[in-house]
Amino acid sequence: MSARAVTLFLAVCSCYAHKYNDLNVESEFVTEPSKYGSLWPLPQKVQISQTSFKLASLSFTITDAKESSAGPSCILLQNAYRRYYEYMFGGTRRQEPSKSRGTRAPDLPELQVLVTSPHSECDGYPAVASDESYELTVDQPYAVLKAPKVWGALRGLETFSQLVYEDEYGAKSINKTSISDFPRFAHRGILLDSSRHFLPLKVILVTLETMAMNKFNVFHWHIVDDQSFPYLSRTFPQLSQQGAYHPYTHVYTPGDVKMVIEFARLRGIRVIPEFDTPGHTQSWGKGQKDLLTPCYAGASPSGTHGPVNPILNTTYDFMRQFFKEISSVFPDAYVHLGGDEVDFTCWKSNPDIKSFMAQHGFGQDYSKLESFYIQRLLDIVTTTNKGYMIWQEVFDNGVKLKPDTIIHVWKGNQQQYQSEMANVTSAGYQTLLSTPWYVNRIAYGQDWRGFYKADPQDFKGTDQQKKLVIGGEACLWGEYVDATNLSPRLWPRASAVAERLWSPKEVTDVNDAYNRLSAHRCRMVQRGIPAEPLFSSFCPHEYKGI
């Protein structure tokens, strides 16, 4: 890409910035175009030359290399080829490249995709240990994308599509480029909450599509909570029949869940469901008798209910059957079991609970009762051959955990979560960070910069401890989010988290990130995603989804 083309591309993609007061702090962004164009997240190693090639929509193809272990029978890649061709050429008429003034640059006829491993994993599901590395060479006679597995090929296709730009004459072009890339962290997630507000299936699928554009690879589906139970269980259909906002229009059927899992798989994204107990379970109790604890006002029941009742054998019979179903429906090796924010008030009021506490020598420490419940639940989930993720409270309360347990850190300020990360890793557990990445919390101005500057390995610990940090998640909780505002609230603010979790630790230049992210945001808009602007700007292809 010529310097002029880079300047034009980034300018029209919203790189005008001015002095402004952001929370009473005057800021100014440097508007020099990035030498990396609009790549997001930034690859590990990238070299972009001034030499450019034209791409013709009628003649350019994405195809399998002859030696590739994932050939035409690999539906995952064939679908991806069509998807990325549409991204690159869908907004233009299918015609030969325009005749530009001056010497016409040579054409680049195709991108050959080579999956090198004998086991491409084309028909499998992505996992925490999946290989997402790839190498991309853009040069004549054709471009080559080489990856050990299909997951790396998917990431490389996204990168290739980001290198394509319109030159000053409107022709599709790409520069001679060499990229060697892999993610810094294996777990790069987005949490969506579909309980507080029901999220239509289409909204979830659009989010998965946008996650792939940002190289996220985990969809953490916080599918149920106090407010509603939209998951339609085959074993316990009364849970959604009684607990969903509406038993027919506001539920996820088995077919819906299967569609989400497959749509995600085709984009290299894992689906990890969260069924949070013993708190956050008011909607569960509407369809499952005696699951929740009766609360008391003095000596009489108040008519209200608290967390899951941990002293009844029927509770564990139910959980055993329910999680057996969950383990068969969701193919990922992990399930998120929650375990956070348990309110002990109701337990303290219940005479049967108090008697149970005395019998087991728990005294007045109700965190021991919580641990008693969690321990039995973990034993149940272990029998399903699933690993589990839990919120940090479970670890903090001293529950006995399997060595492969993943601790999800979400509480506190920077100093507190850094201390928690140090404590969890010093105990030998793998961990994820979400505390600084609650994207449902909004502030006037460019709060993406705070997300961008947070690093999950920024705590006092040994190198071995730092290796136990497997990544993080941007969380979009649903109190004030539904289909009307999910995408603009999530993107491009979550994109900042995507680069932090993918790119080298040393990539911290906020000015360069602003220029690339502005262009990346315009690209998402062009692809039909209503991503909100970073600042005063314009895109050459404004959002037309109204």
With the C-alpha atoms ordered 468, 473, 479, 482, is the resulting torsion angle positive or negative? Answer: negative
Give the SS3 label for residue 514. helix
Cα–Cα dist 474/433, whole Å: 9
Burial profile 27-50: b = 16 or more Cβ within 10 angstroms, e = fewer: bebebebbebbbbbbbbbebebee
Question: Which candidate, 195, 221, 391, places its Cα nearest to that of 283?
Answer: 195
Asked if residue 178 lies in contact with residue 134, where contact means CB atoms within 8 angstroms, the answer is no
Comparing C-alpha atoms, which of 362, 386, 384 is closest to residue 373? Answer: 362
Which token pair is 137? 């060479």
Query: How far from 38 is each of 9, 14, 172, 187, 212, CA to CA, in Å?
Result: 9, 11, 15, 24, 16
Beta bridge partners of 222: 193, 274
**Which is the catalytic residue, given 67, 86, 262, 341?**
341
- Locate 361 and state its tokens: 């020598």
The whole-angstrom separation of Cα 271 and Cα 263 is 10
- C-alpha span between 340 and 306 (Å, rounded): 14
Cα gap 196→231, rounded to integer Å: 13
- Which residues is 409 bridged to in the sheet? 433
Let me know: does 210 contact 158? Beta carbons within 8 Å.
no
CB-count exposure of residue 307 (10 Å: 0-12, 13-18, 19+): buried
Q: How far is CA 274 from the centre of its chain?
A: 14
For the chain, how far is it from start to end, CA to CA, in angstroms? 33
Query: What's the count of helices (H) and strands (E) in the chain, helices before strands?
Result: 18, 19
Measured CA angle at 139 (ends 135, 144), to 5 deg: 35
The identity of residue 43, as a single letter, is P
| Residue 32 one-letter amino acid | E
**Known catalytic residue: 96?**
no
What distance in Å separates the CA atoms of residue 239 and residue 233, rounded to the nearest whole number?
Answer: 7
Question: Hey, how many other C-beta atoms are within 10 angstroms of the C-beta on 321?
Answer: 13
In whole angstroms, what separates CA 526 from the centre of its chain?
21
Cα-only R_g, the chain: 25
> What's the Cα-to-Cα distance from 463 to each of 425, 432, 458, 459, 470, rounded to whole Å?
10, 16, 11, 11, 13
What residues act catalytically?
Answer: 341
